């Protein structure tokens, strides 16, 4: 296996978080290479076959795989992402049980309702930065969905903290510490609500996420520690607010591709789904995921020693020319012929939702993206003033540099 001679690859990875693995693989002419990351030997890989391997749970496990700075900010400690085997499947089931079509549709309706309210306010503003504005919309919707009480006076600060957990996690120095602090505040907030639920002072409806997670029992029949309940509830709140990244890219794509907007306006059957899938494939968001080798094995002649950290390139796999013709072109129609493989379109991980670590919120994400696409093309008039719309690929998550500014916002019937 090609071995990168750099002392540590962390600086290169931070400089180009989305393109780094693909660039090195092209340089070596392979789908994988080895190097040191945060002082640990790590195998980096990309492509559909690498994804298929990565999601084989007989070969890989997650315990201790994610670097500490990511667990202290983005993910939290003790949550589903770091569990394996029966403990993972049991915890994952707690999430997947919430993802029924009816409940997903309900979150879609709550999002549309929050949008309608916010748009009244946007209409009175000179300019709206869509990325920021969408975070508040999603915070309102997902807290209502989870039955997490959110007094009006708290919306802005809770939304800011939820956003800092994903928006500043990959930053360096002071901003990274803001992300750690936001997680500390967020976990304290939810842990207190859990205390109230368990003491009977707060009585969220049966089957609401707050109740389901606060009263969830592990395989031994014990309630989860309050801090872990907080991590898991934040595993619903935080990533739902993170959908703001994709919503910003939807606005970007509508602006850059007026022909797509026209087809969406016309309500062409099936087109909204293809458009949303192409946004998820084309635009950068979650760059990569990490695991550890469970037992040593050989694959395609390469040795994977026990315990070795392995990182799978999600963005590079979504842009692999062997799976996607002209991957750097935005073409929703490509989904007319997509084979539906769980290993080539992996913006939210690959494999199986119930049995593996694939994102529990993938269907929620697709639904909210469709709701907002419909809203932007049919119920909102706005202008896109002159601004820097280039995508900052060194940022984590990547975004249009301006955050996507709209002006002269008017609701439409």
Applying CB under 6 A, the residues found at the interface with ligand HEM are 80-81, 92, 95, 235-236, 239-240, 242-243, 246, 285-286, 289, 347-349, 357-361, 364-365
Q: How far is CA 17 from the centre of its chain?
A: 15
Best CA proximity match to 244, nearest among 324, 159, 315:
159
Q: Give dist(CA 86, CA 79) in Å, integer.
A: 14
* 154 C-beta neighbours (distance < 10 Å), count: 14
Smallest separation, CB 246 to ligand HEM (Å): 6
Best CA proximity match to 291, nearest among 354, 358, 230:
358
Smallest separation, CB 301 to ligand HEM (Å): 25
* 371 versus 409: smaller Cβ distance to ligand HEM: 371
Smallest separation, CB 249 to ligand HEM (Å): 11
How does DSSP assign 87-115, residue by residue?
HHHHHHHHHHTT--HHHHHHHHHHHHHHH
Smallest separation, CB 236 to ligand HEM (Å): 5
Best CA proximity match to 253, nearest among 391, 62, 113, 85:
391
Smallest separation, CB 183 to ligand HEM (Å): 15
* 210 versus 289: smaller Cβ distance to ligand HEM: 289
Q: Give dist(CA 108, CA 113) in Å, integer.
A: 9
Which residue's Cβ lies closest to ligand HEM? 361
Smallest separation, CB 60 to ligand HEM (Å): 10
* 264 versus 396: smaller Cβ distance to ligand HEM: 396
* 203 C-beta neighbours (distance < 10 Å), count: 11
Yes or no: say if 382 and 412 are a contact pair by the CB < 8 Å rule.
no
Q: Give dist(CA 215, CA 308) in Å, integer.
A: 36
* 236 versus 377: smaller Cβ distance to ligand HEM: 236
Cis peptide bond upstream of 397, omega within 30: yes
SS3 61: strand
**Rg value, the chain, Cα:** 21
Residue 91: φ, ψ to 5° = -70, -40
* 134 versus 289: smaller Cβ distance to ligand HEM: 289
Q: Give dist(CA 286, CA 327) in Å, integer.
A: 17
Smallest separation, CB 29 to ligand HEM (Å): 26
Residue with structure tokens 């076959």? 49
Yes or no: say if 150 and 144 are a contact pair by the CB < 8 Å rule.
yes
* 88 versus 160: smaller Cβ distance to ligand HEM: 88
Relative to beta strand 309-313, strand 297-299 is unpaired
Smallest separation, CB 117 to ligand HEM (Å): 21
* 111 versus 240: smaller Cβ distance to ligand HEM: 240
* 238 versus 263: smaller Cβ distance to ligand HEM: 238
* 252 versus 357: smaller Cβ distance to ligand HEM: 357
Smallest separation, CB 189 to ligand HEM (Å): 18
């Amino acid at each position: 296996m090609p071995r990168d001679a750099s002392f540590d690859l962390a600086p290169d990875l931070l400089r180009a978080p989305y393109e780094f693995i693909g660039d090195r693989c092209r340089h070596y002419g392979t789908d994988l290479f080895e190097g040191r990351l945060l002082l640990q030997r790590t195998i980096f890989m990309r492509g559909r076959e690498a994804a298929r391997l990565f999601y084989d749970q007989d070969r890989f496990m997650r315990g201790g795989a994610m670097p500490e700075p990511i667990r202290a900010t983005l993910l939290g400690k003790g949550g589903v992402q770091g569990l394996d085997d029966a403990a993972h499947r049991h915890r994952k089931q707690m999430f997947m049980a919430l993802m029924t079509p009816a409940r997903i549709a309900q979150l879609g309706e709550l999002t549309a309702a929050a949008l309608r309210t916010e748009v009244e306010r946007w209409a009175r503003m000179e300019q709206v930065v869509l990325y920021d504005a969408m975070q508040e919309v999603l915070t309102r919707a997902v807290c209502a969905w989870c039955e997490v009480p959110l007094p009006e006076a708290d919306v802005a600060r809770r939304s800011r903290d939820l956003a800092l957990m994903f928006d500043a996690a990959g930053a360096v120095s002071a901003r990274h510490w803001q992300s750690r602090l936001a997680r500390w505040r967020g976990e304290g907030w939810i842990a207190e609500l859990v205390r109230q639920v368990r003491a009977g002072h707060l009585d969220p409806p049966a089957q609401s996420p707050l109740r389901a997670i606060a009263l969830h029992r592990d395989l031994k029949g014990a309630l989860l520690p309050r801090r872990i309940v907080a991590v898991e509830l934040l595993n619903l709140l935080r990533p739902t607010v993170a959908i703001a990244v994709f919503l910003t890219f939807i606005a970007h794509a509508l602006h850059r591709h007026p022909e797509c907007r026209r087809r969406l306006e016309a309500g062409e059957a099936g087109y909204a789904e293809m458009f949303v899938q192409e946004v998820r494939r084309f635009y950068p968001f979650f760059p990569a995921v990490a695991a550890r080798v469970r037992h040593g094995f050989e694959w395609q002649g390469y040795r994977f020693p026990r315990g070795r950290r392995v990182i799978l390139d999600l963005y590079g796999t979504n842009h692999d020319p062997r799976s996607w013709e002209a991957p750097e072109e935005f073409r929703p129609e490509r989904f007319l012929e997509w084979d539906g493989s769980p290993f080539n379109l992996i913006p939210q991980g690959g494999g199986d939702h119930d049995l593996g670590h694939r994102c529990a919120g993938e269907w929620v994400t697709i639904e909210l993206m469709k709701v907002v696409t419909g809203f932007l093309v049919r119920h909102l008039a706005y202008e896109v003033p002159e601004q820097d719309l280039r995508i900052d690929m060194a940022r984590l998550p990547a975004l249009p540099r301006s955050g996507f500014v709209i002006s002269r916002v008017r609701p439409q019937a």
